[in-house]
Structure 1
Amino acid sequence: MAAAAAAALLGTAVAGCGAGGAGGAGGDGAPAPGVVRTSPIADRLAKLPAAVDGAKVVVGRADAPRTVQVLVDPRCGYCAKFEATGGEALLEPVEGGEVRIEYLLASFLDRDGASGSVKAVNALRASVDAGKFAEYQAAVFASQPEGAFTDELLLRVADRVPGLRGPAFDRAVERGSYAGWVGEAEKAFEATGMRGTPAVLVDGKPVGTKDGSMFDAAAFARTLGAAGIGA
Structure 2
Amino acid sequence: MSQKNHDGKRSARERLAVEREKQKASERRRRTLIVSASVVCVLGLAAVIGVLAANAGKNKGGEKAGPVVAPSGAQGKDSLAIPVGKDSAKSTLTVWEDMRCPACQAFEIAYRPTLHELVDAGKLRIEYHLVRLIDGNLGGTGSLRGANAVACAQDAGKFRDYHDVLYTNQPKETDDAYSDNAKLIDLAGKVGGLDTSAFQKCVNDGTHDAWVNKSHKAFQSAGLTGTPTVLFGGKNIAQDQSMTPAKLKQMVEAADRK
Instruction: Confirm whether residue 107 of structure 1 aligns to residue 129 of structure 2.
Output: no
Q: Give 1 or 2: higher strand fraction.
A: 1
**Contact 1:105 / 1:185 at 8 angstroms: preserved in 2?**
yes
Count of residue pairs brought into register by the alignment: 177
Q: Rate the CA distance shift 1:122–1:86 in 2: closer, same or farther, 3 A.
A: same
Residues 1:155 and 2:185 are matched in the alignment: yes
Assess, with a 3 A threshold, how the Cα gap between structure 1 residues 171 and 192 changes in structure 2: closer, same or farther. Answer: same
Is the CA contact 1:106–1:186 (under 8 Å) kept in the aligned structure 2?
Answer: yes
TM-superposed CA distance for 1:223, in Å, is: 3.7
Task: Report the 3-state secondary structure (helix = DSSP H, G, I; strand = E; otherwise coil) of the residue aligned with 1:138.
Answer: helix
CA contact (8 A) 1:51 1:59 kept: no
Distance in structure 1 (CA, Å) of the matches to 2:88 and 2:101: 31
| Contact persistence 1:93–1:229 (CA under 8 A) | no
- After superposition, the C-alpha distances for 1:126-178 in whole angstroms (9 at most, x for unaligned) are 00111100000000011111211121110111011000011111011111111
* Rounded Cα–Cα distance in structure 1 between residues aligned with 2:150 and 2:166: 9
What does 1:19-168 correspond to in 2, within 5 Å? 51-53=73-75, 54-111=79-136, 112-146=138-172, 147-148=175-176, 149=178, 150-168=180-198
Q: CA deviation at 1:208?
A: 4.2
Q: 1:58 to 1:68 in 2, by over 3 A?
A: same
Structure 2 CA distance for partners of 1:134 and 1:229, relative to 1, 3 Å: farther
Is the 8 Å Cα contact of residues 156 and 199 (structure 2) preserved in structure 1?
Answer: yes
Correspondence 1:184 to 2:210: no
C-alpha contact (below 8 Å) 2:118/2:249 kept by paired residues: no
Alpha-carbon RMSD across the aligned residues, in angstroms, is: 1.9
Partners of 2:201 and 2:242 lie apart in 1 by 39
**Aligned counterpart, 2:230:** 200
**Deviation for aligned residue 1:79:** 0.8
Q: Which of 1 and 2 has greater Rg?
A: 2
Q: Deviations over 1:68-119 (max 9, x none)?
A: 1011111111111111112332222211111110001111111132100000
Residue 67 (structure 1) shift: 1.2
2:141, 2:224 → 1: CA distance?
A: 21
Give the structure with the larger helix fraction: 2
> Greater shift after overlay, 131-140 or 103-112?
103-112
Amino acid at match of 1:58: P
Q: What is the identity, as a one-letter code, of the residue corresponding to 1:159?
A: G
Match of 1:210 among 240, 243, 249: 240
Q: Classify the secondary structure of the residue corresponding to 2:134.
A: helix
Provide the residue aligned with 1:11 in structure 2.
Answer: none
Structure showing greater relative contact order (alpha-carbon pairs closer than 8 Å, 6 or more residues apart): 1
Q: Which amino acid aligns with 1:172?
A: C
Deviations 1:29-78 (A, max 9, x none): xxxxxxxxxxxxxxxxxxxxx83110110001122222110111111111
CA distance in 2, matches of 1:51, 1:220: 27
Question: Under a length normalisation based on structure 1, what TM-score does the superposition of the two structures give?
Answer: 0.71
Which runs of 5 or more residues in structure 1 are unaligned? 1-49, 214-218
